[in-house]
Amino acid sequence: MPLRSTPESAFESVSGYDYPVSYQSVGDLEMAYVDTGEGKETFLCLHGEPTWGYLYRKMIPRLSARGRVVVPDAVGFGRSDKYTDPTEYSFRLHYEAFERFLTELDLTDVTLVCQDWGGILGLTLAANHPERFARLVPMNTGIPTGDQEMPEAWEEFRDFVERVEELPVGMLIQEATTTELSPEVIAAYEAPFPDEGLKAGARAWPDMVPRKGGGDGAEMTRAAARRLGEWEKPAFVLFSDSDPITRPNRDPLREHIPTATEQPDVWVEGAGHFLQEDAGEEIADRIVAFVDRT
């Protein structure tokens, strides 16, 4: 099981994300994370495919004015350790890494801010450890149980990731945003992946989504979905209006989590799949307001 980490020199040109980086051992792997701000509130921000903690850079200043903000890079992404063989990755590997991260840092009273795979894993984590979570903010994500058909746009994306020889991470992120990204921003998203071997995690995640006829981890997400159906703490479902893949998940998720309909019925307008990139400051303000009213 070849294991590598991206050289720190690859991140030298990344700007706008100049926070000290810490590392936490999660078994044989090291997870990198940013930990900034202080206060009784803790925001745990989880990214998805194929991004890293940099995705939250527009939100951190506003969230850290309200409390502590912890932003880990998932295994295989950012500055965290990476397997170079896609078959080394599994739902359980990612889940147990985040679970170990949560308990080793002893995070409590957590407001979970999660998107894409950060939501699939984060919501499962919260369902299994409700004593550590105070609130949920799922964004452009879901808790797939292995029963659903996936949208055509997602099938095309998965097929592209599987067959393309060189995975164009920056292009994928640009295609899933509504704003024009600068060359510097695209380079920052590509920084963790200076060669194809380091992209194994990004190649593995799409096909891992639990769905009808495929994926991984459905037994875990199915149990988590049942628990979330009895969730009693505040939840604020915050989706963008211009994401063709996850937009249909929004209303079912909002109706499934019992407390979600107690919060404002909001769509983030004009934002794509990576709404943190398109509307980060607006989202952060809405999350702070959610914390204040609950």
Q: Are the C-beta atoms of 176 and 116 separated by less than 8 Å?
A: no
Q: 35, 73, 216, 273: which is the annotated catalytic residue?
A: 273
Residue 243 annotated as catalytic: yes
Q: Which amino acid is at 198?
A: L
Q: 35, 116, 216, 278: which is the annotated catalytic residue?
A: 116
By CB atoms closer than 10 A (0-12, 13-18, 19+), residue 105 is middle
Residue 195 annotated as catalytic: no
* Structure token digits, residue 210: 């639990």
Q: 243, 251, 278, 292: which is the annotated catalytic residue?
A: 243
Assign residue 140 a region: left if phi > 0, alpha if psi is -120 to 50, beta otherwise?
Answer: left
Cα-trace Rg, the chain:
17
Convert 20-41 to b/e letters by CB count within 10 Å (16 or more is b): eeeebebeebebbbbbebeeeb
Residue 129 annotated as catalytic: no
Catalytic residues: 116, 243, 273
